[in-house]
Amino acid sequence: MAAMHDSSREAHGAEEPASIDEPAAACMRHLLRRQPRRKAARRRTGLRRAALALTGFTASIGFLAAVAAGALFIELRQGPISFDLKPQIVAALNARVGHGFRFDLSGTAIEATDHGPALTIRSLSVSDSAARPVVSAPSAAIAVDPMALLVGRIAPTRLDIHDVDLRLVIRPDGQVAVSAGAEAAAVPLANAFATDPATRSDTAAPPTDAVPAVAGAAPLHPGNGALRALSAALRSLVDAATAPDSALTALQRVNVTGRLVLDDRVHNTTTVFSDTALSFARDADGAPTLTVAADGPAGRWSLSARAAAEADGTRRLTVSADNLSLDEITLAGGLKSLGFDFDMPVAAHLDLRVGPGGEIAAASGTFALGAGYFKLDDPDHEPMLIDGLAGGFRFDPAAGAVLIERTELRAATSDFTLTGRVDLPRGAGDPWTSAIDASGIVGAERPNEKPIRIARAGIGFRYFPADRHFALDRFDVSGPEVDFSGTADIRSGPAGLRVHDVSTVRHMPAQTLVRLWPSFVAAPVRAWLLANLKGGTVDGGTATADLDDADFALMKAERSVADGHVRVDFGVSGVSLAFMAGVPPLSDLSATGTVTGRTFAMTVAHGDMDVAAGKRLQLAEGSTFRIPDNDPKPMPAFVDAHVTGAIETMAELLQRDALKPYADLPADSGTLHGQIDGRLDVQFPIGKDVPANAAAFSVTATATGLAVDKLVGKEGLTDATVKVDVDPKTGLHAKGEGRLYGAQTSIDLHKPPGGPGEAVIALTLDEAARAKAGMTAAGLKGPVAVKVTAALSNGEKTRAAVDVDFGRASIDGLVPGFAKPAGRPARATLTVLQRDGGVTLDNLSFEGNGAIVRGRVDLDRDGDFASARFAQVKLSPGDEMGIDAQQSGDTLKVTARAANLDARPFLKWMSAPSAPGGVAGAKGSLDLDLHASILTGQNSQAVTGAELRLLRRGKEIRRVTLAGRLGRQPLTVATSQIDNAPHFLVHAGDAGAALLFMDLYKRMAGGRLDANLVMLGQRLDGYAAVHDFTVRDDPAVRKLAVEGLASQRRDDGGAAADATGIDPSAMSFRKLEASFSKTGNIVEVRDGSMFGPALGATVSGTVDFARDQVNLGGTFVPLFGVNNLFSQLPVLGPLLGGGRHEGLLGLNYKITGSAANPVLNVNPLSVLAPGFLRQIFGAIDGSAQRAPTAGDDALRLGQE
């Protein structure tokens, strides 16, 4: 092109001087004809004129040119100048480019451009020598030589073709064809710019689709694989550019803009690059440079190639690339997938020198990758973030090797450097061999990880292209924490890919090995171990793999390969393994393990679980961690641990929040003691998106020597053996036996997951156990069976159901008026509710031996009585009574309301030895308020409208008041202070009914009873007097009356006796009085007497209620009104009558035996003796009257 331009300028220049030299020559000849004198003057004048003329002419020409140029530029600034230059431009382009190419256009215009005036063309087309369209563009521009344009010549120097759809077609046979424009045919690129038209192929490529069809082309991504067309096109264009006779050399610069369409007919893909710019130009040295740029996925990328030929025939090629992405690289290589992906921008530079003989004389290059990520084409591979990768290489012709110069990889925490060499094959069948050495640091990927330093990594391999065989002869990695090696053999053949690998791991940290574990191999297991394996050392291990295409497909799909295709054997020590969130890890593990294609198994020789400071469980030999099948997603994993240790440590483990849903113990771990031996089994999934509560936990263990502090109140369980089962479905179950209060006790505890449970404690309390428990009761004898069922619920108050069986026990005096012999059924049930201020005994129910009690009792914080309310108290079949009790300070206030109350049990209790002592079980003082509409006593007697008030302080009764009606007569009890002691004054309007009510005596009718009672410690003293009563059908009185009357008849001949008309079956008396004392079981009667118009008698002695024995005696005085007169005489009365209530004639008697069937003995001789002699006989036979005491006098005074 330069040559054509220069030759045209020479031809043009040869014509111009001819038109300018003719006037000058005429002037010179005229001056030479002058005379010699005037010759010099005229010569000088002529030269000046000639110079002036030449200057004026040149100025005129310049002015005219400037005016013309100015006018042209002014006109161009107004817009394009349209005129028809089609013939001249077509002729100029055909002449300039030549080589058989023919140009055609539809219109022309002159426009101002950045490169000067340019001719614009509409609808440019280029055809080859066979008249086939090669280029078709809607518009183009030609830059021309301005000077040539002034003289009317068109000399093209630059060609710009716009809006071209440049299509590169990769034919199925591998050839690359080019077409430019919708109408252009695809011509093989190798022949497109050939010098000789005859050398160009006569066969065009099959017609390509129209440009609009490209709009539906596949998007730009690595799988398209069509940019290889661009790579081949660039190589062809470089060859065309460097050929001296290439058509491209005809112009100084050719620019093409538009779209680049890559039509890969090998892989059936089409890719479109927008805003494509292709430029061919020559630099200052005349070397051609080809530049291609386009908008790609990572931005705008560019490629440039510069070709130069040296004088000795050496050719040099320099290629540079900038901002290429992986998409462009895979497209250029014609690859659908490289097995990896990255987004790092790539820049590269290559220098190549080819000798005159075609041999490679020298080659070197550099490359640099910017910041981005690198990721293998595997869903489990974690992307690696890289800050930069830079390196280079050079070819050593003498050694026949490519030397890999220092290549460095930089990441946030990782840093690697490698060098090496690749030896080219020296003969047919020889392999490519390589040796690479690397070192660096593997950065931390997660918090708390430390970098791994690789001191040396040596790689040596051979590649046999013909056999497609890759042999990794050595792969050795060593460092302070790394020591492993391996070999591999990879073959690719008709049957597919086959990989055999053998690796050996030596002593190195377990965590380091897991981190270096390839993330695409058993990814879920690796991820789980990374998160849960801590510390420890891999003592050694071997790994073998034999994989094929099917195995790799399975691995990529996250499926397992066959067991025989992968096997890893290893041994570890000091490892910590976390297996469940919220549960302490297994620590200090020493184990061996095996990994196969589908399974993972590790058997523990020793290990611990540190539950808390100083609390540790031991893992016995035989514990395992296993994954039976890693195909399911997520995959199931199992920990089967044989655990031994302290029960309190196991309890603290079970009280962790993570395990409470399975086994929330009702006892504090600090209250448990003993040893446990059992199995701890955990099943949990491993994989992605596993819920936090997906683990299942179970325990089967036996606790021996178990002790539980304060199991019931302050008493603890001791010497227990309990079997404990924890299951995710059934929850916690503990069952065993121990000792509580020294008694054999059974325990059965069950708590389902996440719900309330219950504990059942059953024991039998004998008297010794009750004494130890502080539950002594004088009226309770024999064993009592107790069953406590306690509800176990989180965050709620304790609730327990208590069942007490009194069937084998006897009850007497425990509750006033109630008794039950052993062997007769009796049961109490209640519910124990814990509240903030103490405990409530709710739903209290007692049934036994005819008694029924229902109500509730409240205890305070210390377990002492606080209050009670009994809606039903039924000690006898007809009772209808309710009781409210309240503890106020030291006083128990009891309010009882009864519609009907049977007093007979209370009367029986009052006659018992312990009755005077007070109310059983009362604390401190007692304040009783009883109202009974009907108070039923013995012998069908009843007190109506009974109002009873009793006040007791300690064991001393201070006050008793009673008001009611017994029959039709009043019955009252009042309290009076006499000598600072309370005296209880009893009055009954019907003495006989009162004695019947209390079942003391059944033969008395009528009478008025007045009594005075006083408590002196444990002794009850009293005085009683009955006035105007009748004794009916009393055997003793009848016998005494009969004996006395018979004696009277013998003495006076029966006259007096007959005169009286006495009926022994109904004896009337004016008064009965006696003093008595009750101490324990014995009642002592003193100075007792009764008298009436016909009979009189004295009585004294004792009654033993415990032994049911009566020992009474006295004097029976017949015809009391007459005989007693002698006793009233002064001085002689005691001698003749014997006493105040005796007479001249009397009969001594004695009553002994049981109270139910007493035996009456009479001394008939005593009737013959005067009074003082009867006293002597009475002393002998025990019937003498005892003298009253000072206390008896005081009681009489109180009565009066």
**Does the pLDDT of residue 549 top 60, yes or no?**
yes
Rounded Cα distance, 398 and 126, in Å: 48
Q: In this predicted model, which residue has the larger pLDDT, 75 or 990? A: 990
Distances (CA, A) of 575 to 23, 195, 468, 631, 681: 112, 77, 43, 26, 19
Give the model confidence (pLDDT) of 596-655 as tens digits: 888 889 999 989 989 888 888 898 888 898 989 888 888 888 989 898 999 888 888 877
Cis bond leading into 634, ω under 30°? yes
DSSP label of 821: -
SS3 151: coil
Give me the percent of the chain exceeding a pLDDT of 70: 71
Give the model confidence (pLDDT) of 781-802 as tens digits: 999 999 998 887 655 567 788 9
Count the neighbouring beta carbons within 10 Å of the beta carbon of residue 719.
15
Lowest mean pLDDT among 433-447, 797-811, 1173-1187: 1173-1187
pLDDT band at 250 (very low <50, low <70, confident <90, very high): low
pLDDT at position 907 is 73
pLDDT band at 1035 (very low <50, low <70, confident <90, very high): confident
Q: In this predicted model, which residue has the larger pLDDT, 778 or 1002? A: 1002
pLDDT at position 152 is 61
- Tell me, what amino acid is at 275? D
Strand partners, 1162: 1149
**Does the pLDDT of residue 685 top 90, yes or no?**
no
pLDDT at position 91 is 76
Lowest mean pLDDT among 345-354, 400-409, 788-797, 995-1004: 788-797
**Does the pLDDT of residue 154 top 90, yes or no?**
no
Count the neighbouring beta carbons within 10 Å of the beta carbon of residue 883.
19
Rounded Cα distance, 853 and 872, in Å: 6
1000: left (phi over 0), alpha (psi -120 to 50) or beta: alpha
Nearest by Cα to 330 from 379, 377, 366:
377
pLDDT band at 231 (very low <50, low <70, confident <90, very high): very low
Per-residue pLDDT, averaged over 1106-1113, amounts to 84
Lowest mean pLDDT among 32-46, 921-935, 1008-1022: 32-46
pLDDT band at 364 (very low <50, low <70, confident <90, very high): very high
Rounded Cα distance, 667 and 260, in Å: 80
SS3 87: helix
Burial code (b: 16+ CB inside 10 Å, e: under 16) for 356-368 equals eeeeeeebbbbbb
Rounded Cα distance, 620 and 604, in Å: 8
Count the neighbouring beta carbons within 10 Å of the beta carbon of residue 46.
17
∠ CA 410-414-420, nearest 5°, is 65
Nearest by Cα to 1097 from 1084, 1075, 1113:
1113
pLDDT band at 815 (very low <50, low <70, confident <90, very high): confident
pLDDT at position 814 is 75
Rounded Cα distance, 826 and 808, in Å: 9
Give the chain's length.
1200
**Does the pLDDT of residue 1132 top 90, yes or no?**
no
Distances (CA, A) of 1147 to 776, 1041, 1144: 53, 10, 10
SS3 133: strand
Rounded Cα distance, 415 and 440, in Å: 5
**Does the pLDDT of residue 885 top 90, yes or no?**
yes
Per-residue pLDDT, averaged over 1065-1085, amounts to 86
**Does the pLDDT of residue 10 top 50, yes or no?**
no
Q: In this predicted model, which residue has the larger pLDDT, 867 or 661? A: 867
Alpha helices in 283-394 (DSSP H): 326-333
Give the CA diameter of the chain.
Answer: 243
pLDDT at position 807 is 92
Rounded Cα distance, 355 and 696, in Å: 75
Q: In this predicted model, which residue has the larger pLDDT, 311 or 911? A: 311
User: Using only C-alpha atoms, what is the Rg of the chain?
Assistant: 66
967, two tokens: 């029959």
Please provide residue 82's backbone torsions phi and psi, each rounded to the nearest 5 degrees.
-90, 130
Rounded Cα distance, 209 and 205, in Å: 12
Give the model confidence (pLDDT) of 199-212 as tens digits: 444 444 444 433 33
- Give me the residue label for tokens 């369409």: 261
pLDDT at position 148 is 66
Give the model confidence (pLDDT) of 95-111 as tens digits: 766 666 777 777 777 77
Give the model confidence (pLDDT) of 53-69 as tens digits: 777 767 676 666 666 66
Enumerate residues 6+ apart whose C-beta is below 8 A from 252.
1, 2, 157, 158, 281, 282
494 within 8 A of 473, measured Cβ to Cβ: no
pLDDT at position 389 is 92
pLDDT band at 433 (very low <50, low <70, confident <90, very high): very high
Q: What is the pTM of this model?
A: 0.58
432 within 8 A of 424, measured Cβ to Cβ: yes
SS3 content of the chain, % helix, strand, coil (to 5): 20, 50, 30
355, two tokens: 């000798």
Lowest mean pLDDT among 179-193, 267-281, 567-581: 179-193
SS3 506: coil
| Strand 537-548 with 508-509, pairing | antiparallel
DSSP label of 359: -
- Give me the residue label for tokens 């009681």: 1195
Q: In this predicted model, which residue has the larger pLDDT, 379 or 573? A: 573
Please provide residue 247's backbone torsions phi and psi, each rounded to the nearest 5 degrees.
-65, -25
Give the model confidence (pLDDT) of 645-683 as tens digits: 998 888 888 778 777 766 666 677 778 889 999 888 888
Per-residue pLDDT, averaged over 297-308, amounts to 82
Burial code (b: 16+ CB inside 10 Å, e: under 16) for 417-439 equals ebebbbbeeeeeeebebbbbbbb
Residue 283: burial class (beta carbons within 10 Å; 0-12, 13-18, 19+): exposed
SS3 192: helix
- Give me the residue label for tokens 């295409």: 549
Nearest by Cα to 869 from 890, 848, 884:
884
- Tell me, what amino acid is at 926? L
190 within 8 A of 236, measured Cβ to Cβ: yes
Strand partners, 401: 396, 423
